[in-house]
Structure 1
Amino acid sequence: MKMGTDMESYWDTEDRNPHPFYDALRARGDVVWDNHIKAWLVTGAAANRAVLMDDSTYIQPYLSMKAGEGYRALRLNNPRSFHFLTGEEHRAMHRWWLMDLLSPQWVAEYMDTVVTPIIGRILSSLEGREEFDIADEYAERIPVAIFADLMDLPDRTTETLARIKKLNDRIADFATIANSLKLEGEPTDELLAVQRSAIAASEELNEMLRPVVEERKERRGEDFVSRLWAGGPALYEDWNSTDVLDASRRLLFAGSDTTTLSIANAFYMLLTDESLLQQVRAGGRPAIAKFVEEVLRLNGSVQFRPRRAMKDVELAGQKIAKGDMVIAVLQAANRDPAHFACPHVVNLDRKAIRAHFAFNVGPRSCPGSNLARAELVESIAQMLNRYTTIRLVNPGEPVLRGFMFRSYRPLHVAVSG
Structure 2
Amino acid sequence: MEVVEKIVYPDEITGFSTEEHRFEPYSWYREMRSSHPVYFDPKQKVWNVFLYRDVERVLSDYHLFSSKNDRKLSSFPVIGKEERSLTSMDPPLHSKRRGLVAKAFTPKSLKTWEPRIATVAQYWLDQIREQDTIDLVYDLAIPLPVTVIAELLGVPASDWKQFKLWSDAIISPGSRDTYAESVKERTQALKEMADYLLPIIRQKRSRPTDDIISDLTIAELEGERLSDEEIIYFGIGLLFAGNETTTRLISNAFYCFLIDQPAAYPLLRKELSLIPKAVEEVLRYRSPAQFMMRRVAQDTNVFGAEMKEGESIIAWIGSANHDEEHFVQAEQFDLNRPNNQQHLSFGKGTHFCLGAPLARMEASIGLTEFMKRYSRLILPEQWSLSENLGQRGFLAKFPVRVER
Q: 2:264·2:335 contact (CA, 8 Å) conserved in 1?
A: no
Q: CA deviation at 1:319?
A: 1.6
- The 3 A distance-change label for structure 1 pair 195 and 8 is closer
Q: 2:385·2:392 contact (CA, 8 Å) conserved in 1?
A: no
Specify the SS of the correspondent of 1:32.
strand
| Unpaired runs of at least 5, structure 2 | 1-10
- The 3 A distance-change label for structure 1 pair 66 and 89 is closer
Aligned positions of 1:75-94 closer than 5 A: 75=80, 77=81, 79-94=83-98
Specify the SS of the correspondent of 2:298.
coil
2:340 maps to amino acid: I
Q: 1:14·1:403 contact (CA, 8 Å) conserved in 2?
A: no
- The 3 A distance-change label for structure 1 pair 397 and 199 is closer
Q: CA deviation at 1:335?
A: 0.5
Q: Does 1:38 align with 2:45?
A: yes
Aligned to 2:54: 47
Q: Does 1:132 align with 2:134?
A: yes
Q: CA deviation at 1:359?
A: 0.1
Deviations 1:225-248 (A, max 9, x none): 112223x31555232212221111
Separation of aligned partners in 1, 2:73 and 2:397:
31
Aligned to 2:111: 108
Q: 1:302·1:405 contact (CA, 8 Å) conserved in 2?
A: no
Separation of aligned partners in 2, 1:399 and 1:197:
22
Q: 2:68·2:88 contact (CA, 8 Å) conserved in 1?
A: no
Q: Does 1:215 align with 2:203?
A: yes
- The 3 A distance-change label for structure 1 pair 400 and 245 is closer
Deviations 1:250-291 (A, max 9, x none): 111211111101110100111223311122222212x10010
Structure 1 vs Structure 2 CA RMSD: 2.4
Aligned to 1:314: 301
Separation of aligned partners in 2, 1:383 and 1:20:
32
Which of 116, 119, 125 pairs up with 1:117?
A: 119
Separation of aligned partners in 2, 1:334 and 1:408:
20
Q: 2:41·2:47 contact (CA, 8 Å) conserved in 1?
A: yes
Q: CA deviation at 1:47?
A: 0.4
Q: 1:13·1:403 contact (CA, 8 Å) conserved in 2?
A: no
Specify the SS of the correspondent of 1:327.
strand
Q: Does 1:145 align with 2:147?
A: yes
Which of 376, 379, 387 pairs up with 2:374?
A: 387
Q: CA deviation at 1:14?
A: 5.6
Q: 1:388·1:416 contact (CA, 8 Å) conserved in 2?
A: yes
Q: 2:383·2:399 contact (CA, 8 Å) conserved in 1?
A: no
| Unpaired runs of at least 5, structure 1 | 1-6
Aligned to 1:243: 230
Separation of aligned partners in 2, 1:127 and 1:236:
52
Separation of aligned partners in 1, 2:204 and 2:344:
36
Separation of aligned partners in 2, 1:148 and 1:399:
26
Which of 330, 334, 359 pairs up with 2:321?
A: 334
Specify the SS of the correspondent of 2:294.
strand
Q: Does 1:194 align with 2:201?
A: no
Separation of aligned partners in 2, 1:294 and 1:171:
28
Aligned to 2:336: 349
Specify the SS of the correspondent of 1:349.
coil
Percent identity over paired residues: 23
Specify the SS of the correspondent of 2:47.
strand
Deviations 1:195-230 (A, max 9, x none): 111010110011111111111111111122112223
Separation of aligned partners in 2, 1:191 and 1:218:
41
Which of 268, 271, 295 pairs up with 1:280?
A: 268
Separation of aligned partners in 2, 1:202 and 1:388:
42
Separation of aligned partners in 2, 1:126 and 1:365:
35
Separation of aligned partners in 1, 2:397 and 2:73:
31
Aligned to 1:4: none
2:128 maps to amino acid: L
Q: CA deviation at 1:89?
A: 1.0
Q: CA deviation at 1:151?
A: 2.5
1:31 maps to amino acid: V
2:29 maps to amino acid: Y
Separation of aligned partners in 2, 1:405 and 1:288:
27
Separation of aligned partners in 2, 1:342 and 1:34:
29
